[in-house]
Structure 1
């Protein structure tokens, strides 16, 4: 892959996609769809000056990704709040579970409408288990009681702890948000793919910059990675603002990095396109805490993507 400085940063993504498609190891996977996969990958993006890794070779629905990130920060694990905002990216898993349990061949659209309209139905069938946000802001703890039994203790808000540690101990190597709670994986609709975020402060004073490294254990490059890059950049920008730091670099690292075999049309179409433009992410205000952001606080400017490319989600 070229390291020429004047290349558009999106070429990293396209180079990775092409490498996987042409040289990846073909494997059967959990979904039974099959993938072409490589292991151990890295992309780097400068977030300074408002730059954001938002793909231009296809339209990325960044508004859905932003609403998802805000949902994570609430600690909620039910898809109803997302569906109420028109975000359907988490519907596939509870829908599959409902169809299997009920035997009802309900359409996704009708299932989503029922989740929105019926709070009791949503409580029964819209919950994803203790995914992402639950671990980020309410990691469970247990205290050893005097009777020799364990009882539930206070949850740990990892996000709040990281913001505080960045303010008080910027040189720490423990600025980490972790989603991989081994004890609760079996209760999750989908174990966390973008599982570990680590933050690093470079420089001092007014020039101090916040770098973010996201390690993703499993990555659907065609559909998931464009969302994950924007979401990680947004999280890094929010945390930097809360800690009084300038945005630095986003480093993305993938474990099993793959393309699904049924994404052929998307991959081949996208690899024919060339990136152009420099979209930017604007944070309009710095609220009292990271949990007080709302969608209207974000604006993307100078984003002129090429047409949308669609492919099925492997569940």
Structure 2
């Protein structure tokens, strides 16, 4: 029987079979297709935490909670044992200082030394800055998340319920320009909250599983804060690619049979800013073993 996860496996196979091979910014090389869409129904409490390999869902949710704080320094992530953003500041540190420090030693120093973290742990005006403190031309900061929640509560028929992170004036200052860049929301007449996420660039093996999980967690939080029920998560990708050193891992994953998607539940917080990882529980998650692959920086 086909499940929602088969969409993802179909996309893996499509990229493997028909993807255009190019040399990309990282120099690793990719096989990519342009334009893809997946749809996940969250109304039965299931969430797209993939089962054909283990996805460390707590790490993905912690990252989403970090975005919501507006923080742009990896120190808070490392204090919560989240290491997925370390590669970019580490590369900058090595390039600018010539010190080929090991990653774990770099991360430990970021946590232990606030001054070092302020200098070398900063990612620039990435997601959280744009979501919570978008700087307008007039110098005024705009909290896109707070505005979205207000619209969800008070003008749910609006077609303007979205936020995005591609701030043209600040993209050049970011360690990594936003990949999952636009989230648009839609409330049905029956009170269900739908989300359409546009991702301009998608690392299909490593990035997409985290993006699905983080987006679903955010959708559940927003629905809860607005007194709505979760509906559909629609994911759209622009440049959807597999790195050339991920092809064998993708074939391995594509050959696995999906299992039932897990259920995610969360304890209601007083505000969107009050959620903690302890508020999230996932039940019935029975994944295949992890698949290891290198991040392209």
Fold shared per TM-score above 0.5 = yes
Write out per-residue CA displacement over residues 15-51 of structure 1, whole angstroms, 9 at most, x where no aligned residue.
Answer: 0001001110111100010000000100000001211
**Which sections of structure 2, spanning at least 5 residues, go unmatched?**
none
Tell me which of 273, 280, 290 is aligned to 2:272. 290
Structure 1 residue 86 and structure 2 residue 81: aligned?
yes
SS at match of 1:77: coil
In structure 1, what is the equivalent of residue 188 of structure 2? 202
Give CA-to-partner distance per residue, 1:74-127, whole Å, 9 cap, x none. 000000000011100000000000000000010111100110111100000000
2:295 counterpart of 1:307? no
1:177 counterpart = 2:163: yes
Aligned to 1:149: none
Counterpart residue number, 2:202: 219
Q: Compute the displacement of 1:272 (Å).
A: 1.6
Residue number in structure 2 paired with 1:265: 248
Aligned to 1:188: 174
Deviating 4+ runs (over 4 angstroms): none
Q: Aligned with 2:291: secondary structure?
A: coil
Q: With structure 2 as the length reference, what TM-score do the two structures score?
A: 0.99
SS at match of 1:292: coil
Task: Provide the C-alpha distance between the structure 1 equivalents of 2:254 and 2:68, rounded to a whole number of angstroms.
Answer: 34
Q: Which residue of 2 aligns with 1:146?
A: none
Question: Superposed, which structure 2 residues align to 1:11-90 within 5 Å?
Answer: 11-90=6-85
Match in the other structure for 1:3:
none
TM-score, normalised via structure 1 length = 0.93
Matches within 5 A, 1:109-120: 109-120=104-115
Question: In the comparison of the two structures, how many residue pairs are matched?
Answer: 297
Tell me what 2:218 maps to: 235
Asked whether the equivalents of residues 50 and 261 of structure 2 are also in contact (C-alpha less than 8 Å), the reply is no
Matching of residue 165 in structure 1 with residue 148 in structure 2? no
For 2:103 and 2:259, the matched residues in 1 are separated by 35
Secondary structure at the counterpart of residue 7 of structure 1: coil
Larger radius of gyration: 1
Shift of 1:278: 2.6
Please give the secondary structure, in 2, of the residue aligned with 1:291: coil
Query: C-alpha separation between the residues in 2 aligned to 1:94 and 1:278?
Result: 34
For the residue of structure 1 that corresponds to 2:170, the secondary structure is: helix
Q: Aligned partners of 2:100 and 2:230: how far apart in 1?
A: 47
**Are 2:38 and 2:234, in contact at CA under 8 Å, matched by a contact in 1?**
yes
Q: Which stretch of structure 1 is more off in the superposition, 286-295 or 245-254?
A: 286-295
Could you say which residue in structure 1 is the equivalent of 2:136? 141
* Partner Cα distance (2:101, 2:249) in 1: 27
